[in-house]
Chains A and B, each alone.
Chain A
Amino acid sequence: MTKQIVFALALLITLGVFAYTVSRIVRFFMLTRKGFRVNQLGKRLWVTLEVAFGQTKIFRRPVIGLAHALVFWGFCVILFGSIEMVIDGLFGLEKSLSILGGFYNFMMAAGDVFALLVAISIVVFLIRRVFLHIKRFEGIEMKKISHIDANVALSIILILMLSLMGMNAAYLKWVELAGHQVHGVYPVSQHLKWLFNGMPVESVFTHYQVYWWTHILLIFLFANLLPYSKHFHVFMSVPNVFLSRLEPLGKLPNMDNVTREVKLMMDPNAAFAAPAADAPIERFGVKDAEDVVWKSYFDALSCTECGRCTSVCPANITGKKLSPRKVMMDLRARMKEKGPLMLKNGRDFNDGKSLVRDYISEEELWACTTCNACAQECPINIDHPKLIVEMRRYLVMEEGSAPGELKAMFNNIENNGAPWQYSPEDRLVWAKDLEISVH
């Protein structure tokens, strides 16, 4: 009974803290702008199955991709055992889901095997991060804290997997000594039973309990650390894939407020016919965290800083300042800074800083070729170029700021209908004296 009460308290605290964190994040989302509507649910489910559960994009780098896929699939399988632990803990039961019979045996076996596979993958990840110099994990945005964040999360996952295997092995030894029936199948841990050889049954049971508590309490702690870490990814990535923009990568979202203005300019009569603009006057483009559409903030929270985007960015590869990963990290950091102040003082609150310039420089923004390699590469369908263009929109339309050559290009389009300074009269010069051979 004591165990149940302690467990219920721990769960209550976990859920309470988590609910508080989530409610804060939801309030940050309320500060952002409306974006596209989430429709086409069938297509979204398909994308989620393919990209999230099938891990198709992570496999664009097959070797290290496999290690990640094993961790992901492992988490999905092991979740079953964690749910059972919560039920057992709350109701004082032992292996309560074993009533599911064959399915239970299968899930426990899979979880046991995956615990080992995940542990091996995590060790590989840690070695890569700590001992090998992988270019992808470096860059101006990768501060010491980013590396600590990564290594702490990986270490917690490693302890989770080791405690799971220890728990399974101790369980097997305990039922063997106590003469109970074994529930579940444990193909890996059965080879670890020897760890408890020579111990009396009570102390094997104590070991089992210690592993059990370590594992579940660490899950509770991890769940509440995640939202404050880049590993929030664990919760956010599957929903982020589900909420992907489904349009072709080349399509930029239309600015309907601009359409209204342009239509008025082209047809003055429409000024009277059109209903009075009921929408509040919005800033053109993105200057600061609250100007982004909700999906960009979702992208920023889902980013795990893997750097695949930056490693394929033509600007970054050739030494320019732009790094798509940094753009996502900057948005997240800026909302973390300004969000609480806006919640306290209202959305109009101004702290004299902004995402554009104080976090992301113009030089970075103008280096983008909108080639979409970053968005193509992102394993969870983050869309960096849309946000970059949104910030360019702010610079150009609110501040009239752009590199001189681009301003000249705008002028040319306005005056002679081409980005270069040529007369429309010469549009057909190419077709002069055209001859075709007659066969």
Chain B
Amino acid sequence: MGKFRKSGKKELPPVSTASLPDIVFMLLFFFMVSTTMKEVELKINIKVPQASQIKKLEKKSLVSYIYVGEPQKQFVRTMGTEPRIQLNDQFSEVSDIGSYIEEERGKLDEAERPLLTTSLKVDEKTKMGIVTDIKQQLRRVSALKINYSTRKSSKEE
């Protein structure tokens, strides 16, 4: 009889939380390493086209972005519905691209300047006219390395 009572009294030991900080820290480091901060707030809608033959853009610091797409709802009244160019945080004209690239170049070291890549994030419904204009501007300032930003298409090969 006594024996049984003894075993009944034993309580389940509480789950140890001593390793909880370690687990959380592990997650924390993972996110710290993999994180990239959002740089600009988009004022236009962009859905980049799909492609299969894509390459990853390396060295984020060497990339400058040009966004093209239809203005978001709250800007339609002032900017219209035609696709517009966005550089940094503001709507821009094609003619601003030259100075924008020069500015981006100024941020880089002398040796890195030729490596500057321009990433074109263009909505798939945009007409090529505006894209051609951008490319001509880029050629004029000799920013010849470009990257058409795309999503990975679902079908492989």
Do A and B interact? no
